[in-house]
Amino acid sequence: MSEEQTTHFGYEEVPVADKQVRVRQVFDSVASRYDLMNDLMSMGIHRLWKRRAIELAGVRRGQRVLDLAAGTGDLAQKFAGIVGSDGEVVMSDINEAMLVHGRHRLVDEGVVGNIDYALANAERLPFASNSFDCVTIGFGLRNVTHKQFALDEMFRVLRAGGRALVLEFSHPVVKPLAKAYDAYSFSMLPLMGRIVTGDADSYRYLAESIRMHPDQETLLSMMEQAGFERCRFFNLTGGIVAIHRGYKF
């Protein structure tokens, strides 16, 4: 285990033990308006990013999928439709408010029968080794205190031939876009957060946490360190978002 005493919470340096609590407070605060804010912040483009992640996952009927940091269940819902009644999707999140909100949404939309729910920490997954065909984490890895631990756990629970996908905000590769993105992130996101959820600070944290997240090449190296092979990343919207994929052989 890491001997670090502090870690980052956005741009702030905090005790390691405090980060998980503070991240939980962020998502407790925004859970009920999470989907609305996603649509507003990305102008709906997040749906295209998730669609591309689902395509790259290559999930098939009858397979078993683990969706970490599942939030309100966008990815889990799509995977449940793909794997069918012969397969299973486990929708997992460390935040109870988000998981409950997501479960209610999926039940209301008739997604039942092949989906289970797990309140779990991505750094210490309560699942047997070699038990999933695909593991995904969408817009959640940047909130994990020890990202390498989470990647190690994703590798552990995958079966041979399985693949992991990390869908996450990343680092724009075009300088003019990066400048415009910074201006938008640090001015408009907190403003929208204050108007829609009454919480500007959580969306200021969002902007800061994105900047503190490893860049594309660094995250690729971290996946390789965890044991993944044939690792690649796919930049979306000029690198504002990236999908990293790796296989376990």
Mean pLDDT computed over every residue of the chain: 93
Residues whose CB is less than 8 angstroms from the CB of residue 176 and which lie 6 or more positions away in sequence, other chains included: none
Q: Which residues pair with 66 in a beta bridge?
A: 90, 135
Q: Which of 31-35, 98-102, 105-109 has the lowest mean pLDDT?
A: 31-35
For 60-86, the pLDDT digits (tens) are: 999 999 999 999 999 999 999 999 999
> Quick one: pLDDT at residue 147?
97
The yes-or-no verdict on residue 182 having pLDDT over 60 is: yes
- Rounded Cα distance between 14 and 36, Å, is 30
Query: Is residue 153 very low, low, confident or very high in pLDDT (cuts 50, 70, 90)?
Result: very high
Query: Is residue 4 very low, low, confident or very high in pLDDT (cuts 50, 70, 90)?
Result: low
Query: Is residue 1 very low, low, confident or very high in pLDDT (cuts 50, 70, 90)?
Result: very low
User: Quick one: residue 176, left, alpha or beta (phi over 0 = left, psi -120 to 50 = alpha)?
Assistant: alpha
**For the domain bounded by 6-173+204-247, which CATH number is listed?**
3.40.50.150
Say what percent of the chain tops pLDDT 70.
Answer: 98
